[in-house]
Structures are given as C-alpha cells and as structure tokens.
Structure 1
Amino acid sequence: MRIDMNPSQLTFWKKYMAKAKLDLSYAAYTKVLRSWNDANASCPFNRLYFIIEGEGYVKVGDQTYYPKPGELYLLPAGSNQAYGTISDHTFGKYWCHFTAKIGDLDLFQILQTSAFITIKDPEALQKKFEQLIAYNKSEELTSAFRVNAIISEFIADFIEQTETVKLNLASTPTYEKMNSVLHYMEQHIADNVSIDTLSQIAHYHPNYFINAFKQFTGYSPIQYMNHLRSEKAKDLLMMSELNISQIADSLGMELSYFSRMFREQTGFTPTSFRDLKPKMIDYNETMLK
C-alpha cells in the first residue's frame, strides 16, 4: 500500500478513519442462480464478494470486472453498482453487506482503493467469512464485537493489499476548512485559542462550527486541543529533560490543570508516564535484537 501524505496528515487520517461506525446487514455463502442480475444506482451500502467458483461480472461506476476464484471484490457505498451472470457456471461466493460511516460520510467515499484484491490465503479468508456468518446469527452478548472485529480486519486487509490508496478529499467539503483549523491549533498549541477565532478561520458561525468540528474530528475543540497537548507532552516526557512544570509552561497550562488533563487523556500522571521510559527503552532494544 502506498499513500502520499506527510506524517502529521497520516497520523490524523489514521485516527479519523478508525472512527468509522460499522454496521453489518447480511453475510452468507450463496451459489447464485442463473437469473442473478441487478443494478443499483448510488447503492447505500458496501458489498464484499469473495469468489469461490464460477463466472459472472460486477460493475462499479463505468468499470466492468469479471471476477475469478480467489479474488475479493469491494463495491463501495455511494457508487453505481451492477452484477450478473454470463453462463450456467454461476458464482459461488461468500458475501456481506455493511456500512462504514464517519459522520454523514461513507468511509469509501473518502478512501479510494482498487476494486479487488487477490487473496493469498483463500482458506483463511473462507474461515473468516464462516465466522462472520456464525457471529451475525449468534445471540451471544459479545457477537456484535466479533462481527465488527472481522469487518475491521477485512477493511484493513483490503487497504493494505491495495497498491495505491487515495484520499478523495473532494468528498469532504469541510476538509479544507477544518484542515486549516487543525493546522492553526497545532501551531498555537500553547495559546488560549478561542472558539470565535477558530470559527472565523473556518468561516462558520461559532454555534455551527462546534457541531461541524465534532462531526469531522469526533472531538469538541477543547477536547481536540487537549489531545494535541497530551500527545506533545508524551513526546517531551520521553524525549526531553524538561521537568513537568516546564512542560506544562511550554503548553501554556498551569501545572495542576496540566496534570489533571494528562491523566484524563492517558490514564497516567505525568510522573508515572515518565517512569515508563526505562521499561519502554528496554522493550524497544529487545525487539531490535
């Protein structure tokens, strides 16, 4: 997988995409009938087809594909989709329908991948689909966690095995505005940044800005600023000799507020987090041997 962006952008988008809310509708294995044929304009959900046998076609947008056994196809939500048979030797396929939403957007509206990948270990993927089908039918309290874990793994595998992944920022009309806001917050991490200032950068009314910001990032502006500060503080605690009071000052925070914020964000006090440093160094050195 190759994706062109700088490290700070990559960090943001990794966390942003991980917020996708998953919802599985159906999962099954089907040997399709000769009459299997349909077209869906702007389909509202994603389809995954793992081809076991047979022949047929799928169409995404203007592109038509003729899947082969061992290939996994993604028909992304929001796209024009069609499929059908071409002979009596019809598809035998594992399949599922699911949504992956980030706010009002579909994940694969934002993230553009190839239409299919060739599976290196078909038996392992077949087993995963069988587990997905079983968990989706299960009445166990934990079954939804299992379902989401498998769908997440499918998505991760698909992204990792796609040669080039592109971010379709045109699908996120607030991206340019919010990206300017996030950049400003990063550059003014030690300042008392007001909602009015941020909303002016985005050219939004302050009340609308707060809702738009939370929908885009998953955080309120103050939560996101504290997240930035805690990430910076973690770096300083591990990589610098500054004492905790100096780190708090560098972030424009009083010591007591900084300590409380850091613990809320990380589960550690600044002192106990710094005490992890020797253990983390030993662990990293062990892993490198």
Structure 2
Amino acid sequence: MRLAYYPMLSPKVLDLPVYMCFTGAIHQDPISRDDSFPYFQWIQCVSGKGRLIVGGTQFDVGIGQGMLLYPNEPHEYYATSEEHWETHWMVFGGFAVENMARLAGMTRSGSYTLSNSDVTLSHIRTACTIVRTGQHWAGLECAKIAYSLLMDINRFITFHTESTEQQSIRLQRVVEYMEQHYAEVITLEQLAAVLDISLQHLCNLFKKVHGKRPIEYLNHVRINKSKTLMFEHKSLSIQEVARCVGFDNPGYYSSVFKSLEGITPSLFQRLNGLR
C-alpha cells in the first residue's frame, strides 16, 4: 500500500501561516534522507513498529506514537517488526509551523507519544478524502485540517515523567553552564537553550528541583563566587568584585548580597578581616 495525495496550492494557500503540502498512508519502506527535504513532517504509526535515527539519537516508534521531523535535517527510519509498519503522514508548510511544534514541546526531531492518537489519525484520513475530491477548495480545507492536527498534537502529546533525581541530573548541565559563565551576561533564553527546552519548562524544573527560579539560582552562584573572590583578592573594591561576577550595577549586587547573606558586602569584608 502506498497512497499519496497532493492538493492544488493556490497563492492564497501558500500565504497562510500553516498549510498542508501533501499527505498519505503507506506500508513504510526504509527511508534515508540527506538535509535537502525542506518541510516539516508528521508521520504516525498505525500498525507494526519502526525505528527513527535523527540527530545522533535512535527512537523506537510504535502504535500511539508519531515522528515529528524538522526540515533540512538528515534522518532515516525503517520497520523493525515482521508485520508491515503502516504509517499515515502529513507534510506541512507555512511560517507558523515551527512555533506550533515548539508550543507542543516538540523542540527537535524525534518520536512523540499521544494519549489519543485516533483523533490525530482522523485528521490525516479526512485530508486524504478531501484531496481525492479534486475540488478547487481542497487546499484551503486541508490547511484548516493541518492547523487542527498540530493543535491536537499539542493537546494530546505526553512526555515521560522524570524522577526528581533524573531532573536534577538533567539540570546539572545548566548549573555547569552557570559555573563557567557567571561573569558574563546570562539570559533565561541561553539557559533554556542548553537543554533545548522552553523557558517555562526550565523555570518549572528549577523550581521543582532547587526550590528557586533559574536567575535566583544564578544569583546564589555569583554571590558565592564573589565571597571567594574577596578572600583571594582583598584589594578589589566592591564595584570591581561586582563586575567580576557578572553584576554591571554595584548597587544591585549589594542588594542581592544582602538579601542572600543578611549583611552588606562591605560588612562581610569587615567581619572577616578583609578591610
């Protein structure tokens, strides 16, 4: 079985934020692509099992799961079961597709599990039916279905729940980044990029594992580094210490120091014989 359907894409359709390029169903043959495929793909397992290899990672794909593939990224996938690996798929165009994928937590190519895969499969099957009519409006109607498919993936996608210990191990990469770059300007976007997760996910992880937000944790790192710096370089002024640990504003540094240590940096120096 190999069915593929291509709607007529008018200029009006091509200007939409999300539209369907083509769709279909297949007894999946082995696929190996270089980095020249220019579209997002959603490929959902209907029966059998398969394996996806992308970005140096291997994913097993079974019933209730789908593969989201980013454009222009080398990948391969193939059946791993004796029975046919049947998949239904849709290929997307439009400038908003990546944002919708990231909204669903699909920040990279990979295999994702759905709590209700029947709903998403029904969208693909409906799109196949509409394209077969050959009507001039099929492209516009399939664009609506493509949008609905992405929204329902967002609605039904599930993620493996990590233990607190696993989450702590995962966050260690961010903590190490803070330790290495505390003297530089560090944004939440940079920290989230270390794990390739959303800002909200990063903040939730830090709150659960460390009981504080990422920037609060970073401030702890910087204040501890500043105390070490005061002992090692007694001649440095408060302003110089502040700059050395990533605070452009000495007043803000002193405020953060006092909120965490209960005393000002100057008093800390005096109490420890550093002045």
TM-score w.r.t. length of structure 1: 0.43
Give the greater-gyration-radius structure (CA).
Answer: 2
